[in-house]
Amino acid sequence: MHNVSEMLKDLDISGFRRTGIFKDDVNRFCDYAHVQTDNPYLIALRLAFGDTVTVHTLTGGVCNKIRNTSIEHLPNGRPEFLKKPFLLEAKGETLLHTIHTIGGYIDNGVLIIISYFIDGSFLVQREQNSFSGMAIEDINFRNSTGEEPAGDKKNRDTLPFITVLALMLEAERTPLSVDGGSRKSKKRSRDKRENNSSGWVERRIYINAAYLRKTNADGQHVFLDKEGKQLKNVHIQGFLRNQPYGPQHKLRKWIYVEGFESSRWTYGKDTRITVAIKE
């Protein structure tokens, strides 16, 4: 498995004049740097970053939190984090499924998403006009050839994953913190910059130490009604709420709501409750 950030680090673009037209710039850069590649999107991502590359490393706790925060509809408008180039790497083995790295950049209004798998393969998807409240299941995901990717679930979960991350980073009460100024973080960035004339910043995204984690209920049945239903404790997973506020409640802001304990009348079978983004 190749470390994508290390591959980006090896692409020295100092002295190269960019035009912003990625297809032309990639071809010109390959001639300029005498590079041959089967992944022009990696070069385009490096060119999109410009002088400074910022790598966000997600801890296992963060990946689990994102995977367990449900989203059924995309927000109306692309989140701020996804409006500029990004590179996400797992601090553990994977971000989700068998994907260990996700990169992205905007090309002529289209979000290009590159997913790298632990077996060394990668998938390129193009997102356009999806951030309009569209249901995830209705989105037409397109790969680099303009065709629908194979029906594997991992191909459909990448966009929700990076969207939930982006929303949680800007939401109030978020459990996520970004480490960009600690001594260890600065040392990692210095190490990345060695023998590389371009800037390099590494930031770790982790669960805030002050954040109070809630645990699942033990599932003990405490009451029985006349219809045979049992009152069972359940855990509602965390979710994002698009909260109205301001004059006449016309403004909106994202708020992360921590999972909480509740109870439901059931017939004794295990119940899975999924809470999606709330409008």
182 and 64 in a common domain: yes
CA distance 46 to 9: 9
Helix extents (H) in 34-152: 40-49, 60-67
Q: Which residue range(s) make up the domain with 277?
A: 214-279
Judged against a pLDDT cut of 90, whether residue 28 lies above it is answered with yes
Which of 207, 239, 261 is the endpoint of a domain?
207
Q: Which of 179-188, 193-202, 240-249 has the highest average model confidence (pLDDT)?
A: 240-249
pLDDT digits (tens, 9 = 90+) for 71-87: 778 899 999 999 999 99
232 and 195 in a common domain: no
| Least reliable range by pLDDT among 11-15, 38-42, 150-154, 175-179 | 150-154
CA distance 85 to 108: 13
136 and 47 in a common domain: yes
Judged against a pLDDT cut of 90, whether residue 40 lies above it is answered with yes
Judged against a pLDDT cut of 90, whether residue 141 lies above it is answered with no
258 and 218 in a common domain: yes
What is the reported pTM?
A: 0.75
Q: Look at the chain and report how many structural domains it folds into.
A: 2
Please report, for residues 80, 94, 167, the alpha-carbon distance to residue 141 in angstroms, rounded to integers and kept in the order given: 21, 22, 20
148 and 28 in a common domain: yes
| Least reliable range by pLDDT among 54-63, 115-124, 130-139, 147-156 | 147-156
189 and 221 in a common domain: no
Please report, for residues 53, 212, 215, the alpha-carbon distance to residue 233 in angstroms, rounded to integers and kept in the order given: 47, 20, 12
CA distance 53 to 63: 22
